[in-house]
Structure 1
């Protein structure tokens, strides 16, 4: 593909995803109008049959043509990319070289980085947060948060009294990239808790030798009443104690200190 004189081409090489994750590129400044992006994708968490290679060409931030190893040929994305796609597809040596880059570039670099990434394992930090629904509803939304873990693959399940909950009542957020090579995720359960129920969030992760769990039990009405009684009592105590203490300190500050008896003639 040709380019105008005086305009430098920006080559952005991206290795997208060390395992099953993807690293998003930062958009270049506007004065860069020609780009070539090389991407390696590992959607199955490894360099197996699901891995694929992309080589993409852009002009003015618009993609014109790409090579996708899953197709094995160049594909025009816009009308302007059709001449280039036809030209490169007509050259067997170009196609052969591009088809080989899934192994020579993607899988080769994956094999280099895999031992280092595999050695880095961070345990998820777990927390259950209950969120009450409308006052007229007895439903409670239980949110199980797994934070700051690595690698990305994680399995989170909700159990009620030891029995796994129906998946139709469970909703998960997308995997959250924290920006420090760790991940977070939230898995929510719409629960109808009854007295004596025990809800368990069970987590399986490569950093854990065995599955780990945290539990949540609904509070009884009497326990909630005692809690609110304690809170109200504390607030009332502060209402009376704070003004009294302030008045006492004010009076103490305004009282004159008598001189020692030895100085009185």
Structure 2
């Protein structure tokens, strides 16, 4: 089945303390819909971290991977274990997925937006803005650019929605443009978690980090000038206070 399937697992652990051996089983449901045909059930048995036998609803039987597993697979495929594993796809997966799927669809996470300027990748325009949208759910989202309130359709490129490792999504949109005096450029995000579009205006002023650098540099320059002036005044006063002794 496709690797993009969602999945959840239920872990059953049985520990045999004699000689420290460990045996456990994992049930997995992989699905791309709530329909039974879109569900794959996998039951794996492990012995000391090594998978020795597996039931896969696609194969529809047990398969052994070790000598011990092969013997058990042959026996289970002829007994009630096979019937129980086949029924688990509907009894365990189908029922739980229906509940979890609807629960997930009712949840949403609001995106946050970062707007920044980068060097243009082409010679058509001297400037490029990047609108990065992070941590939103569900996946469906619309990102557009506005110039003085009007949607911009040209010189715009966007990535697909990219899944994060925590099930949230992110997307980036790029706008190449030629700055004009007095214009207002904005990135507008529309998403199911928002009651109204989220509009972020581009501020062409320097970022705070750059402003801090300039402020620190200016403060240092002013302090240097003050110290130089104080030294000059001190020197002048010392010079004026000297007594000239005429030579014979």
User: Shorter-chain TM-score: which interval?
Assistant: 0.5 to 0.7
User: How far does residue 33 in structure 1 lie from its aligned partner after superposition?
Assistant: 3.1
User: What is the SS of the residue equivalent to 1:49?
Assistant: helix
5 Å-filtered alignment, 1:185-264, equals: 185-195=169-179, 198=185, 200=187, 202-205=189-192, 207-208=193-194, 212-215=197-200, 217=202, 219=204, 234-239=215-220
How far apart, in 2, do the equivalents of 1:98 and 1:195 lie?
65
Higher strand fraction: Structure 1 or Structure 2?
2
- 1:86 aligns to what SS in structure 2? helix
CA-to-partner distance for each residue in 1:25-66, whole Å, 9 max, x for gaps? Answer: 99x99x66322101122334x355322211111122122221
Q: Distance between the aligned counterparts of 1:60 and 1:81, measured in 2? A: 13
Q: What SS is found at the alignment partner of 1:195?
A: coil
1:156 corresponds to which of 130, 141, 151 = 141
- Which ranges in structure 1 are unaligned for 5 or more consecutive residues? 1-19, 178-182, 245-265
Aligned residues: 204
TM-score by length of 2: 0.59
> Out of 108, 130, 135, which is 2:116 matched to?
130
Tell me if 1:85 matches 2:73.
yes
Compute the displacement of 1:100 (Å): 1.1
Larger radius of gyration: 2
Aligned-residue offset at 1:204: 3.2
Q: Trace 1:18-37 onto structure 2 (pairs within 5 A).
A: 21-22=6-7, 33-37=22-26
What's the CA shift for 1:127?
Answer: 0.8
* 2: CA distance, partners of 1:25 / 1:234: 58
Calculate the TM-score normalised by the size of structure 1: 0.56
Aligned mate of 2:94, from 103, 107, 131 = 107
Give the equivalent residue in structure 2 for 1:42. 31
- Structure 1 residues 180-199: Cα deviation after superposition (integer angstroms, max 9, x where no partner): xxx43221345433336956
Question: Partners in 1 of 2:99 and 2:144 — Cα distance?
Answer: 40
